[in-house]
Structure 1
Amino acid sequence: MSFKESFNVNGENLLKKIKEIIAEGNVRKIIISDKAGKEILSFPVTIGVVGVVLLPIFAAVGALAALLTECTITVERSDSSKEHDQNDTPPPTENPNTPTDI
């Protein structure tokens, strides 16, 4: 399950805010829109995506920051607590056919 949250930022703080959001973790996707709501850039953020892979995206965001005076960042996050519960496996049970006394 996922949820979205939005942040309004000015162009000069755009790259800084995106780096902060990625550092927080549990981010699936980031969408950057202009003040009219038109989507300018959208990119997925997956677990394990680090530095070198993000450099071209950061360059594009930096170029956008020079052009935009105000924009909205929409962040799609995964609900990590629910995903964690779904991924928990129950403890192993003893096989009744296996003798326990040796």
Structure 2
Amino acid sequence: MNEPRDRANLDSDSVEPEVEIPSSQKVRVEEFNISGDTLLDKIKELVHQGNIRRIVIKNETGSTLLEIPMTVGLVGGAIGVTLFPFFAAIGAIGALVARLKIVIERME
């Protein structure tokens, strides 16, 4: 009646990916340490490269401040309209934090 449960499964911190990645594709993770005043320009540059799956902005201690999942298939003006709220938040974060770490996941 009261069967024991495996506590390891209940306390797991693992997160399922939002987008299923085919086994033939690999994801490469890169990290950049930058200053807050160059944050927005670097993010815009990365977004226009197009092969990015996710962008994570962390502070000096490694705490995640903002995580931006990139929707596959956004092109041209759709990128600007869709990501405008993120760009506003990124600008505010860059103004408040001196040193940041950007973690990006690229599809290969």
TM over 0.5: yes
* Residues 1:27 and 2:71 aligned together: no
Q: What runs of 5+ residues in structure 1 fail to find an aligned partner? A: 80-102
CA distance in 1, matches of 2:96, 2:61: 14
The 4+ residue runs of structure 1 with deviation greater than 4 A are: none
* Cross-structure match for 1:58: 87
* Cross-structure match for 1:16: 41
Deviation at 1:43, TM superposition (A): 1.0
CA distance in 1, matches of 2:72, 2:48: 11
**Residues 16-95 of structure 1: pairs in structure 2 closer than 5 A:** 16-49=41-74, 50-79=79-108
CA distance in 1, matches of 2:105, 2:92: 23
Deviation at 1:25, TM superposition (A): 1.5
CA distance in 1, matches of 2:95, 2:106: 27
Deviation at 1:48, TM superposition (A): 3.0
Percent identity over the alignment is 43
Aligned residue type for 1:73:
I
CA distance in 1, matches of 2:65, 2:85: 16
